[in-house]
Amino acid sequence: MNRILITGGGGFIGSHAAAYFASEGNKVIVFDNLSRWQFLKSNERRKEIALYNWNYLKKFDNVRFIKGDIRKKQEIEKAAEKVNAIIHTAAQAAVTYSFEDRRADFEINALGTLNVLEAARKSKEKPAVIYCSTNKVYGENVNKIGVEEKNGRYVFPTKYSRGIPEDFPIDGCGHTPYGCSKLAGDLYVQDYGKRGEVNSAIFRMGCIYGTRQFGSEDQGWVAHFVISAIKEKPITIYGDGKQVRDVLYVTDLINLFKKFLDRREEYFGEVFNVGGGPDNTLSLLELLRMLEEKIGKKPTVNYSDWRPSDQKVYVSNISKVNRKLGWKPKVGVEEGVDNLISFFKENKDILEKI
């Protein structure tokens, strides 16, 4: 049995991790300051949406809740004292907000991660750490690859047809404040790992989607499109909609967390690119067409200028994580999108509040 601390456990990925590990009989501590709603520009959503996942977890007797802040060293150190694993998902996770309050973004993502690592290093239990990093650490270098257009969508040229690998350069390019703060955390986790101080894995993730994700324009585009299409609200496409992402269903990600925790002793600050990979990609226009078919209504779309630093294509090369951890995604795009549609149709009360 594991004793797992999940920072950001009240958020989308953290709450899925908490629900899974609790249902497997582990002891779980959910540590969150419930601040997510503050980072969203789309303020029509209410605070209670941010509490949904926290409240969802209350049905588990083996989940303990701590309302705490990773920026506060003492709070996180105390929470980590008796655990043997930390899944660090807490973050300011919106690129848009990172431009608005760069200090808060830095303090949460960079300093907060350092605090988590220090908590792990100081603990007698020597907990392993999972760090939820992001493909945004590769910054503008991804756009320098150039793209080709095939069948109404952008694709990488042949050299990167399997996606972006872990040794792709991160230097000599523009990032975003979010990209910088997450990269700082990513480098610290590598450093503590290479020094042999903390067993850890860094998962540089692309787009993760799934139930209980209350996506908005700022974060979580697949859920945002699904919610808007069901509610018949207009969707703004920044650019031409041919941009492509690999998408990974959240339960596949949690399955990867489990695989790493089972073999944690082998890994010290190892970096893995994680996503749906080349077999699970979607362009924005393709998702719109899929939703029209599945929901039976054509989503209303407005077009606007490209957003700064938006990547035209991002696909993760998942060969390394497949080779080293024996992991690959199981849930295909059609199945994942169906699950999301069913979730929102079955939870009309929450849909009304978004």
Ligand X SMILES: NC(=O)c1ccc[n+]([C@@H]2O[C@H](COP(=O)([O-])OP(=O)(O)OC[C@H]3O[C@@H](n4cnc5c(N)ncnc54)[C@H](O)[C@@H]3O)[C@@H](O)[C@H]2O)c1
- Given a contact cutoff of 8 angstroms between Cβ atoms, the answer to whether 302 and 234 are in contact is yes
Q: Quick check: 64 binds ligand X (CB under 6 A)? A: no
Question: Is residue 132 part of the contact set for ligand X (CB under 6 A)?
Answer: yes
Catalytic residue IDs:
178
91 binds ligand X (CB under 6 A): yes
Taking a C-beta distance cutoff of 8 angstroms, is the pair 329, 249 a contact?
yes
What gap in Å lies between CA 191 and CA 202, rounded to an integer?
Answer: 11
- Residue 238 to residue 174: CA distance in whole angstroms: 20
Q: Does 207 bind ligand X (CB under 6 A)?
A: yes
Nearest residue (CB) to ligand X, 277 versus 298: 277
For position 8 contacting ligand X by CB under 6 A, the verdict is: yes
| Start-to-end C-alpha separation, the chain | 37
**Strands lying side by side in the sheet with 200-205:** 63-67, 27-32, 3-7, 85-88, 128-134, 200-205, 270-274
Smallest distance, Å, CB 346 to ligand X? 20
The size of the chain, in residues, is: 354
Which residue lies nearer to ligand X by CB, 18 or 198? 18
Contact (CB, 8 A) for 62 and 26: yes
Of the candidates 98, 38, 89, 132, the one whose C-alpha atom is nearest the C-alpha of residue 307 is 98
Across the chain, the runs of DSSP E, i.e. the strands, are 3-7, 27-32, 63-67, 85-88, 128-134, 148-150, 153-155, 200-205, 207-209, 235-238, 244-249, 270-274, 281-283, 301-304, 313-314
Q: How far is the CB of 220 from ligand X (least distance, A)?
A: 6
164 scored as a contact of ligand X (CB under 6 A): no
Least distance CB 129 / ligand X (angstroms): 13
State the residue number with the nearest CB to ligand X.
11
- Applying the rule CB under 6 A, the residues between 111 and 130 that interact with ligand X are 112
Contact by Cβ (8 Å): 107, 69 = no
- Binding test (CB under 6 A) with ligand X, winner from 10, 127, 177, 329: 10
Q: Which of 6, 26, 29, 32 binds ligand X (CB under 6 A)?
A: 32
Q: Cβ distance 222 to 247 under 8 Å? A: yes
Least distance in angstroms from the C-beta of 55 to ligand X: 12
80 binds ligand X per the rule CB under 6 A: no
Q: How far is the CB of 11 from ligand X (least distance, A)?
A: 2
Among the listed ranges 64-72, 161-169, 258-266, 319-327, the one in contact with ligand X (CB under 6 A) is: 64-72
Q: Which of 4, 5, 12, 341 binds ligand X (CB under 6 A)?
A: 12
Question: Residue 3 interacts with ligand X (CB under 6 A)?
Answer: no
Token pair for 72: 């506060």
Q: Shortest approach of ligand X to residue 318 CB, angstroms?
A: 14
* Residues 305-334 close enough to bind ligand X by CB under 6 A: none
7 close to 69: Cβ distance less than 8 angstroms: no
Q: Which of 3, 27, 71, 102 binds ligand X (CB under 6 A)?
A: 71
- Residue that has been written with the tokens 């955390």 in this structure: 185
CA angle, residues 153, 155, 161, in degrees to nearest 5: 150
**Is residue 108 at the binding interface for ligand X, with CB under 6 A as the rule?**
yes
Shortest distance, position 135 Cβ to ligand X, whole Å:
7
Smaller CB separation from ligand X, 296 or 329: 329
Among 4, 5, 6, 13, binds ligand X (CB under 6 A): 13
Backbone angles phi, psi at 147, to 5 degrees: -135, 160
Chain residues binding ligand X by CB under 6 A are 7-8, 10-14, 32-36, 69-71, 89-93, 108, 112, 132, 134, 182, 205, 207-208, 220
